[in-house]
A and B are shown apart, each in its own frame.
Chain A
């Protein structure tokens, strides 16, 4: 073996070791730097615009048959809110629960479950895709969000629909924070976007968001707020909680969860 070959080989090994170790530490460092995160997040805008352009603003999520309903639907996030006010409502089967609809609307109103059930509804058997990767199929019945919004009337500057929830997540290192979510008007007025009060033919059970949860079938599970107590119409999301437009969005997840 000549000297040149040995040196080359040693250099190659050293370069390979450095190449293996450097990026790992470097990627962690980049992952927590603001400028790099915003660079990566620029893809989110592209995802939203290109996916809506390709899939269309009216496209319906695939619907399934009764036979395909998951025998065991996983419940993620909160399975039972520990808020005392919520628990009091749950004890009397949500008889005195009312959904407040306010913000940039012409007629702020609150609705009982019976009033919501009397409004135009939709039943759909759809696939629930969790951001973690799993999917379950369930049957949902609920009031069409478009019907609800038409009832209260949107003001001209309305841009987002915010769902405020009874459950809080966090604890441990992080103080508990209320769950909330938001969608824009394109998704709010889709035919399959409903506030569901029934699942698989029965009243919505507590682990799945009783008495009312959002179903926005063209997005991932974390958008579909459970335990909805209030619907607020806004023109800007940055003034609410962490400003990201949702509990998970405030913790680094994308606001657009169509992918």
Chain B
């Protein structure tokens, strides 16, 4: 059972874990990333195929979602990944609308904004929340640097890195730090957050910008970095799903390490630390 059901006897104390700026930017990130993902899938659905290089080689996509006819005449969804065909009826390529009608679309309607096919509106949502993501990210970075949140809370210490093996073992056994150690992010947490903040999010923004013909005119180096506009589109797509994978792991960790305690700390800032049991020589 999660750790918020602790023995009444175990000593606990409450600390102030997340500053207001961190909480606020966190929830704005939740909002913008969710809407960016779903409007992004809407945009992807306008041409549900990915390529590598500058241009689209329509005959040889890296990934393509299409609808086809099964031998019995019913429609099926087919996803082709690097030449391998996978039947994905109901989810990718062909899915069912609310009234049960089969519809040819890359991602299903429950995954896109708007739920119906509308590229123009998907783009409206996407660019608005892209600005929110970038401005929110800039505000967070400014805070993290000015308040020393970055150096104090996120950069792993030498001690952290030396004990990374133990942290991995503890995570695998779903054992989480107590006492003094619970007052800080653990080393895997720090590395994961740093990866998202300084690698994944900048990468997805730059790959998105590399798809803009105007930005390509001003900064052709972006095309060299990604290997062409279609490569940038593919990188943007992969980075988006890598962020989804991060969020899934993040949510599992939130759930197994004390969901109410974690949620409270991200809303009010207060986090309850469970003291280590007194050392009695064990």
Contact = CB atoms under 8 A, between A and B. Distances in A.
Contacts of A132: 46-47, 119
B28 interface: no
Contact of B55 (A55, A68, A254): A68
B230 A135 contact: yes
B189 to A, nearest CB: 23
B233 interface: yes
A147 to B, nearest CB: 21
Contact of A133 (B127, B130, B233): B233
Interface in A46-95: 46-47, 51-52, 54-56, 59-62, 64, 68, 70, 72, 74
Interface in B79-120: 110, 113-116, 118-120
Contacts of B16: none
A248 B217 contact: no
Interface string A244-259: 0000100111100011
Contacts of A251: 120
A8 interface: yes
Nearest to B209: A259
Contacts of B1: 5
B74 interface: no
A52 B214 contact: yes
B244 to A, nearest CB: 15
Contacts of B260: 8
B127 A44 contact: yes
A188 B115 CA distance: 37
B213 A40 contact: no
A59 B55 CA distance: 21
Contact of A28 (B58, B114, B214): B114
A70 B213 contact: no
A135 B55 contact: yes
B58 A74 contact: yes
B5 interface: yes
Contacts of B71: none
A64 B223 CA distance: 12
Contacts of B217: 55, 59-62, 217-218
B116 A131 contact: no
B123 A62 contact: no
B54 A64 contact: yes
Interface string B1-36: 100010000000000000000000000000000110
Contacts of A134: 47, 49, 51, 56, 58, 230
Contacts of B114: 27-28, 31
Given A41-B124, A254-B124, A258-B213, 17 more contacts: A8-B260, A24-B113, A24-B115, A27-B38, A31-B118, A37-B121, A61-B217, A68-B54, A70-B55, A74-B56, A127-B213, A133-B49, A134-B56, A134-B58, A219-B214, A251-B120, A259-B213
Q: Which 9 pairs from chain A and chain B are nearest by CB?
A: A55-B218, A258-B214, A252-B120, A259-B212, A133-B47, A134-B56, A59-B217, A132-B47, A40-B124
Interface of A: 2, 5, 8, 12, 23-24, 27-28, 31, 37, 39-44, 46-47, 51-52, 54-56, 59-62, 64, 68, 70, 72, 74, 127, 129-137, 217-220, 248, 251-254, 258-259
25 contacts: A5-B5, A24-B113, A31-B113, A41-B124, A43-B131, A54-B215, A55-B214, A55-B215, A55-B218, A59-B218, A60-B217, A62-B223, A68-B55, A132-B46, A132-B47, A133-B43, A133-B44, A134-B49, A135-B56, A135-B229, A217-B213, A219-B213, A252-B120, A253-B123, A259-B214
Interface of B: 1, 5, 34-35, 38, 43-44, 46-47, 49, 51, 54-56, 58, 110, 113-116, 118-121, 123-125, 127-128, 130-131, 209, 211-220, 223, 229-230, 233, 259-260
